[in-house]
Structure 1
Amino acid sequence: MATVIDGTGAPEKQAQNPRGRTRPGPRRPRRNRGNRVAYLLVAPAVIVLLAVLAYPIGRLIVLSFQSFDSRSLFTGDAPFVGVSNYTEVLSDPEFWTVVGRTVVVVVAVVAIMMTLGFALASLLTRVSPWARVTLMVCLVLVWAMPMVSAALVWQWLFQPQYGVMNWLLTQGRVFGDLSAHDWFSHPEQGMSLIIALIIWKGLPFVVLTMYAALGQIPGELYEAAGLDGAGRRQTLRYVTVPMMRPVLAILVVLEVIWSVNSFTPIWVLTQGGPSGETSTLSVYSYVSAFTANDYGKGAAISLITIALLAAFAVLHVRRLAKDGEVA
Structure 2
Amino acid sequence: MATPSLSAQRLRRRGRTQALSAWALLIPSIALLALMVGYPGVTMIWQSFTDYQVRNKIQGTPANFVGLDNFAKVITSSDFPAVLGRTIGIMVLTTTLIMVGGVLIAILMTKLGRGMRLLVSVGLLLAWAIPPLTATVVWGFIFDTQYGLVNWLMNAITGSNDWYNHPWLLNPWTFVLVLTIIVVWGAIPFVAFTSYAGLGQVPRETIEAAEIDGAGGWQRFWHIVFPAIRPVLGGVLILQIIWNMKLFTQVYALQSRGGIAADTNVLPVYLFRQGIGKFGETSAIGMLIVIIMLAISWYNIRLLLKEDEQ
Q: Which residue of 2 aligns with 1:15?
A: none
Q: Which residue of 2 aligns with 1:295?
A: 279
Q: 1:151 aligns with which of 125, 136, 141?
A: 136
Q: Distance in 2 between matches of 1:174 and 1:112?
A: 32
Q: Check conservation: 1:110, 1:256, Cα contact below 8 A.
A: yes
Q: Check conservation: 2:247, 2:268, Cα contact below 8 A.
A: yes
Flag the 1:116–1:61 CA change in 2: closer, same or farther, 3 A.
same
Secondary structure, counterpart of 2:247 in structure 1? coil
Secondary structure, counterpart of 1:181 in structure 2? coil
1:59 aligns with 2:35: no
1:310 aligns with 2:294: yes
1:276 aligns with 2:262: yes
More helix by share: 2
| Structure with max Cα Rg | 1
Number of aligned residue pairs: give it. Answer: 292
CA shift, 1:225, in A, is: 0.5
Q: Distance in 2 between matches of 1:314 and 1:233?
A: 28
1:57 maps to amino acid: G
Q: Check conservation: 1:158, 1:183, Cα contact below 8 A.
A: yes
TM alignment of 1:89-104, pairs within 5 A: 89-104=74-89
Q: Check conservation: 1:161, 1:179, Cα contact below 8 A.
A: yes
Q: Check conservation: 2:94, 2:180, Cα contact below 8 A.
A: yes
Q: Which residue of 1 aligns with 2:96?
A: 111
Q: Distance in 2 between matches of 1:42 and 1:212?
A: 28
TM alignment of 1:127-166, pairs within 5 A: 127-166=112-151
Q: Which runs of 5+ in 1 are unaligned?
A: 1-5, 8-31
- More RCO (CA 8 Å, sep 6+): 2
Q: Deviations over 1:75-103 (max 9, x none)?
A: 34463242211121122242222111111
Flag the 1:47–1:275 CA change in 2: closer, same or farther, 3 A.
closer
Q: Which residue of 1 aligns with 2:163?
A: 178
CA shift, 1:232, in A, is: 0.8
TM alignment of 1:185-204, pairs within 5 A: 185-204=170-189
For the aligned residues, what is the CA RMSD?
2.7
2:176 maps to amino acid: M
Q: Distance in 2 between matches of 1:145 and 1:78?
A: 44
CA shift, 1:240, in A, is: 1.1
Q: Deviations over 1:242-297 (max 9, x none)?
A: 1111011001100000001110000000159525221111111111154xx43221
Secondary structure, counterpart of 1:125 in structure 2? helix
1:123 aligns with 2:85: no
CA shift, 1:299, in A, is: 1.1
Q: Distance in 1 between matches of 2:193 and 2:160?
A: 35
Q: Which runs of 5+ in 2 are unaligned?
A: 6-14
Flag the 1:230–1:189 CA change in 2: closer, same or farther, 3 A.
same
Q: Which residue of 1 aligns with 2:9?
A: none
Flag the 1:205–1:86 CA change in 2: closer, same or farther, 3 A.
same
Q: Which residue of 2 aligns with 1:286?
A: 272
Q: Check conservation: 1:266, 1:283, Cα contact below 8 A.
A: yes
Q: Distance in 1 between matches of 2:99 and 2:136?
A: 22
Q: TM-score, normalised by structure 1?
A: 0.81
Q: Distance in 2 between matches of 1:260 and 1:175?
A: 39
1:124 maps to amino acid: M
TM alignment of 1:5-16, pairs within 5 A: none
Q: 1:244 aligns with which of 229, 235, 251?
A: 229
Q: Check conservation: 2:155, 2:162, Cα contact below 8 A.
A: yes
Q: TM-score, normalised by structure 2?
A: 0.85
Q: Check conservation: 2:48, 2:281, Cα contact below 8 A.
A: yes
Identity %: 30
Flag the 1:174–1:59 CA change in 2: closer, same or farther, 3 A.
farther
Q: Check conservation: 1:102, 1:281, Cα contact below 8 A.
A: yes
1:207 maps to amino acid: A
